[in-house]
Amino acid sequence: MLNRRILTKTIIDKVKLTGKPVGDGVTPKGAGWTGGQPNAEGTNFVPFCVVGIGTSSSSSGPISDFQADWQTTYTVSSFGVSREQTEWTADLARTNLALLKGTTLNLGDANYKVISVRVDAIGGIQRVDATEPQYWGQTDAYTVWVTKTATA
């Protein structure tokens, strides 16, 4: 059976290639407004991403191993101090996640090949008014399709 936690760690590691802080379901430390009150002298906004894990209900495969293929779902929320910075951060995340296609990963009981990294939705930009000045966020949805290739 697929060990999803290993795949999730791989997804997070790929998003980290953006060079921005990445949270595992939460805002990462050292991200957003840092150094004091937002927009005060000496403060800085550090763009960041948060990886979310969705339900993966689609599995398939041959009769001999009917759960050899999995379509796993994830979200990546990107945040920036401007619309442009937010989209730039999301673009970097999409580019880095695409690098997974064609790779083989040991996901516990077997090796699995990533046969598809599908961007299901490029999210709309939302302004977050919880701080002054505001910041922006965008959530993209992904399906990562893996297929069992050989016993580990």
Give average pLDDT by consecutive 10-residue segment, the chain, 152 residues.
Answer: 92 97 96 81 89 86 76 97 96 97 92 96 94 92 91 53
The full set of domain ranges for the chain reads 4-151
38 within 8 A of 146, measured Cβ to Cβ: no
pLDDT of residue 36: 76
**Fold (topology level) of 4-151:** STM4215-like (3.30.2000)
- Cis check for the bond before 38: say yes or no (omega within 30 of 0): no
pLDDT of residue 60: 74
Residue of 66, 79, 68 whose CA lies nearest to 131:
79
